[in-house]
Structure 1
Amino acid sequence: MSGSDTAPFLSQADDTDDGPAPGTPGLPGSMGNPKSEDPAVPDQEGLQRITGLSSGHSALIVAVLCYINLLNYMDRFTVAGVLPDIEQFFDIGDGSSGLIQTVFISSYMVLAPVFGYLGDRYNRKYLMCGGIAFWSLVTLGSSFIPRERFWLLLLTRGLVGVGEASYSTIAPTLIADLFVADQRSRMLSVFYFAIPVGSGLGYIAGSKVKDVAGDWHWALRVTPGLGVLAVVLLFLVVQEPPRGAVERHSDSPPLNPTSWWADLRALARNPSFILSSLGFTAVAFVTGSLALWAPAFLLRSRVVLGETPPCLPGDSCSSSDSLIFGLITCLTGVLGVGLGVEISRRLRRTNPRADPLVCAAGLLGSAPFLFLALACARGSIVATYIFIFIGETLLSMNWAIVADILLYVVIPTRRSTAEAFQIVLSHLLGDAGSPYLIGSISDRLRRDWPPSFLSEFRALQFSLMLCAFVGALGGAAFLGTAIFIESDRRQAQLHVQGLLPETGPTDDRIVVPQRGRSTRVPVSSVLI
């Protein structure tokens, strides 16, 4: 049992003074070069001494985190899988349907900075346990709302954001404190496989459970039971490693948290972090729009082509598109995440800017294929699926790489805050508003056209074309990231090694001469 697990609830998890003694075998700095500007990567033995966990236990922790990540995204997109039924049940239009996702993302976005602050300072394991337990209860409650209480569905979906915020801001930082270098990239790729796979399973579970039970409410009752298992696994398996220990020399000074405002100022001066977050915002905008509206768009396309009967009031909306789109999302996610990580890993050998360039290529490449998918929907549903497959594969190349960029351009004691800031930015300008925006544009276009199934299809088709334009803007942001990535990464490495101490207005200290050299001392120690 590690020391972090015996600490009081919500106490500081890491004893930052604890660490291996200088000269520990397997660790950088053991050969008398503690100030090397390019620190060596610890071997397996060294990592085990630093974290106090075996390689097998560390991999098991990642597996548990991956399971919970999959579960979170599965729950998020179960609603999209039964969206036509929800519209029929509550008698709502496209704009109100978009609010379901918008309210959830808005709550998630607001709560992320809170958990980011807590995650940089307190026991991450217990924060996640509490958040996921609350999320499971609220998700179960949302399945019992009567048809005249649509506002209550919006409220419960907003409260679900507590669980997601408590988890997504913290879990990647645990992985960062267990692994380094290429091994960290591989573990992050495994972790982020869960996003597209969980999203796809959400569509599949939503549509199939509804078909089996004959009631869409049962689709929302699958994930709460799995959430209870997630809390048990978190409590029994996960142990907390010391923050940043795997990245600093054994004999370098420990990293201590700075104030929240100091963290925000440092992140605002980090151009690689800001630009990569803007690029990821474009990814969130596109994926958020497609996640909610793609199955409904494909259903309307089939109705226009005469392949499927229309979804009439009082009837269950029967369509295989949620299942097919879910399978495509799973496959393209696994393929895209793995492809992105592998291409980036190989290119890094010759180009240190490989990560942002691969992200830019993925976004810029996905834009024309998503446009073609929308343009071809009235002529051939098969061509639409092919272009969606290619576009989503390219789009998925970003997930693990963006997370890796954040972890190596931000120092360990700011990573949860950085994760939270990236979540706020990407959701505020991305998928918090994109589903509602797409639905509102669709409703506005339909008002100018005569009522028909063709009008419903065309309105949603034209509104979704906005995604291709936003994707191109995101690609440009990643190209900007490539300009600064080398210097920002190097600065973070020097800071972790204790070679670049924090200076400037974030430190409540002043410089005074002492024995022929300048020394920083607290303001309170100087008499004026």
Structure 2
Amino acid sequence: MTSNQPRPRTRLSLRSNSVHYDSLSTEQPDSDTPFMRTNPISQKRSYIAVAVLCYINLLNYMDRYTIAGVLLSIQNYFGIPDSTSGLLQTVFICSFMFLAPIFGYLGDRYNRKIIMIAGMIVWIITTLGSSFVKKSDFWVLVLTRALVGTGEASYSTIAPTIIGDLFTGTKRTLMISFFYIFIPVGSGLGYILGATIANATGDWRWALRSDWSGRFGEGKNRESESEIEYHHTVSSFSCESYIFGAITVVTGIVGVFLGTYISKQLRDRLPNADPLICAVGMLSSSPCFFIAIILAATSIPATYTFIAIGETLLSLNWAILADILLYVVVPTRRATAEALQIMVCHLLGDAGSPYLIGAISDALLKYDQESPHWDFRRLEYSILLCPIIGILGGVFFFMTSLYIKEDRKAAELLNSGNNVLL
């Protein structure tokens, strides 16, 4: 080959699992295009993959919030206070949070499908195992809930990055929206399913099992007056779980699609539209939740109305936040970035909040240990912490809007540099 002849050019293509070369390729990639694959899958298979990931995400969040739907039954079964019952969610989130970076690191370097399958096997086994815990072994239940976080950490960290590799641009935003819709939908269905199964079987543990055989109506012939009163309380709690779950499902769907639509309309004209939408959603939802908490003692319909408005506003950011993460990070580091985002948001959010809220409620008990009215008020006062923290979240999103344009350009430049023709 003479010096005047063009040399065959080779594209350096980076994947999460390997580095390979696509010889004789002269195509210049778009800055938002995922790195070339040796075996790109068809569009049909891409949609099937997203559908499977969405279904698992639905089960993921149903499992996570089933415990919340039967929490009162768990408290009565084990005889534990509010702070200890909150520990169930805290240990789960802490396990999920600290393991996410490990799975993110592995997901950027090894076979993501195998990592997810292994994590899901652990998740299924520990969830089923937790339903067989005896009344004297509450700490075994705590341990199994921590292990459930292992499976969820592997899946929640890696799944969005797979979608980011399969689609680009507005289509990726839409697919991410479908994926994240199942967070509020799964959460709401978890409340409903947990309460429904617990009521039907008379045993909260069956809400965590996949085998429905043989336990319906157990023990109901030997109810004392106090047990009848307990079942009445649980039934009332379950009814509220149905309503709250249904609100969460509907508002989640509306909020995610609304946030995606607004983002699509504004992002071309306003480069920092995405974090601004998230900021407005967070800041607007906080007073709605505050009012809902205050009105809970006087007007249940008004409470549910403000909860619905607040959850809709809060759901605006589910898909947008994931999309932001994908377009400010190069594909080969997306799993790690997703893991770090999961760790930080849970560290500053629900990792400690269930236990903290329960601890505040328990601390307020000393002021009046006999009054049922005070039992309600002390929980109300402790939950008021949540909308206050929500304001801080909105402020951080506003800070993000100041830098998002430059960060996106830097990621696009680095992405183009990794795909240049050598």
Q: TM-score range by the shorter chain?
A: 0.7 to 0.9
Match of 1:505 in 2: none
Contact 2:197–2:207 (CA under 8 A) maintained in structure 1 = yes
Match of 2:382 in 1: 463
Cα distance per residue 1:3-61 (max 9 Å; x no partner): xxxxxxxxx9744214475245xxxx2xxxx7xxxx3767xxx9998762111110110
- 2:330 aligned residue (403, 411, 422): 411
Q: In the alignment, is residue 364 of structure 1 matched against residue 283 of structure 2?
A: yes
Write the mapping of 1:130-141 to structure 2, written as runs, cut at 5 A: 130-141=118-129
Report SS of the residue matched to 1:437.
helix
Match of 1:348 in 2: 267
How far, CA to CA, are the matches of 1:388 and 1:435 in structure 2? 19
Match of 1:22 in 2: 25
Match of 2:147 in 1: 159
Q: In the alignment, is residue 195 of structure 1 matched against residue 112 of structure 2?
A: no
Task: Please state how far the C-alpha of 1:500 moved relative to its aligned partner.
Answer: 11
Report SS of the residue matched to 1:17.
strand
Task: Please state how far the C-alpha of 1:451 moved relative to its aligned partner.
Answer: 2.0
Q: In the alignment, is residue 317 of structure 1 matched against residue 317 of structure 2?
A: no
Report SS of the residue matched to 1:364.
helix
How far, CA to CA, are the matches of 2:384 and 2:168 in structure 1? 40
TM-score normalised by length of structure 2: 0.88
Write the mapping of 1:143-292 to structure 2, written as runs, cut at 5 A: 143-222=131-210
Matched to 2:359, the amino acid is: S
How far, CA to CA, are the matches of 2:284 and 2:133 in structure 1? 42
RMSD after superposition: 2.4
Matched to 2:161, the amino acid is: T
- 2:46 aligned residue (55, 58, 73): 58
Cα distance per residue 1:164-214 (max 9 Å; x no partner): 011111011101100011111000000001100110110111011112222
Change in Cα spacing, 1:47 to 1:155, as seen in structure 2 (3 Å) is closer
Match of 2:246 in 1: 327
Range with bigger deviation, 73-82 or 409-418: 409-418
Match of 1:298 in 2: none
Change in Cα spacing, 1:160 to 1:311, as seen in structure 2 (3 Å) is farther
Contact 1:13–1:122 (CA under 8 A) maintained in structure 2 = yes
How far, CA to CA, are the matches of 1:451 and 1:136 in structure 2? 42
TM-score normalised by length of structure 1: 0.71
Change in Cα spacing, 1:206 to 1:314, as seen in structure 2 (3 Å) is closer
Cα distance per residue 1:82-122 (max 9 Å; x no partner): 00000000000100010000010111112111111100000
Matched to 1:405, the amino acid is: I
Matched to 1:22, the amino acid is: S
Cα distance per residue 1:115-151 (max 9 Å; x no partner): 1110000000000001101110110010011111111
Change in Cα spacing, 1:469 to 1:41, as seen in structure 2 (3 Å) is closer
Q: In the alignment, is residue 85 of structure 1 matched against residue 2 of structure 2?
A: no
Contact 1:85–1:316 (CA under 8 A) maintained in structure 2 = no
Unmatched 5+ stretches in structure 1 = 1-11, 225-308, 502-528
Contact 1:374–1:384 (CA under 8 A) maintained in structure 2 = yes
How far, CA to CA, are the matches of 2:414 and 2:31 in structure 1? 15
Match of 2:103 in 1: 115
Contact 2:279–2:394 (CA under 8 A) maintained in structure 1 = yes
Matched to 1:53, the amino acid is: I
Task: Please state how far the C-alpha of 1:161 moved relative to its aligned partner.
Answer: 0.7
Match of 1:444 in 2: 363
Contact 1:373–1:383 (CA under 8 A) maintained in structure 2 = yes
Cα distance per residue 1:409-464 (max 9 Å; x no partner): 11111111111111111111210101111111111112122422111110111111
How far, CA to CA, are the matches of 1:196 and 1:158 in structure 2? 22
How far, CA to CA, are the matches of 2:249 and 2:153 in structure 1? 23
Q: Counting helix residues as a fraction of each chain, which structure ranks higher?
A: 2
Contact 1:71–1:223 (CA under 8 A) maintained in structure 2 = no
Change in Cα spacing, 1:457 to 1:223, as seen in structure 2 (3 Å) is farther
Unmatched 5+ stretches in structure 2 = 1-14, 213-225
How far, CA to CA, are the matches of 1:106 and 1:340 in structure 2? 29
Match of 1:388 in 2: 307
Match of 1:399 in 2: 318
Matched to 2:392, the amino acid is: L
Contact 1:51–1:178 (CA under 8 A) maintained in structure 2 = no
Give every structure 1 segment of 4 or more consecutive aligned residues whose post-TM-superposition deviation is greater than 3 Å.
Answer: 12-15, 18-21, 39-42, 46-51, 309-316
Change in Cα spacing, 1:144 to 1:450, as seen in structure 2 (3 Å) is closer
Match of 1:504 in 2: none
How far, CA to CA, are the matches of 1:49 and 1:472 in structure 2? 43
Report SS of the residue matched to 1:451.
coil
Matched residues, number: 391
Change in Cα spacing, 1:384 to 1:314, as seen in structure 2 (3 Å) is closer
Matched to 1:423, the amino acid is: I
- 2:402 aligned residue (473, 476, 483): 483
